[in-house]
Amino acid sequence: MKFLKTSRLLITISLVGTLWLTARVALYTSKRKSFEDVGATTTITAIQTRVTQRKDPPVLATGTYYADHLLDDQRVPLFRMGQVKRKPTVAVGIPSITRNGATYLLETLGSMLENLTPEQRNLCVFIIYLADQNITNNFEAATKELYSRYNDEFNAGIVEVIGPPEYLMPDWESHVEANLGDKIDRARWRSKQNLDEQFLMSYIIRYVDPVYYLMM
- Which has the minimum average pLDDT: 32-36, 89-93, 117-121, 163-167? 32-36
According to the model, what pLDDT value does residue 65 have?
45
According to the model, what pLDDT value does residue 13 have?
54
Q: 132, 165 in Cβ contact below 8 A?
A: no
Q: Which residues pair with 214 in a beta bridge?
A: 92
pLDDT digits (tens, 9 = 90+) for 39-94: 433 333 433 333 333 344 344 444 444 455 555 556 678 788 899 999 999 999 99
pLDDT digits (tens, 9 = 90+) for 132-170: 766 666 677 778 888 889 999 999 999 999 988 776 655
According to the model, what pLDDT value does residue 137 have?
62
Which residues 6+ apart lie within 8 Å of 109 measured at CB? Answer: 94, 126, 128, 146, 150, 159
Please report, as a single letter, which amino acid is at residue 51: V
Burial zone of 132 (CB within 10 Å; 0-12 exposed, 13-18 middle, 19+ buried): middle
pLDDT digits (tens, 9 = 90+) for 168-202: 655 666 676 777 777 877 777 787 888 888 889 98
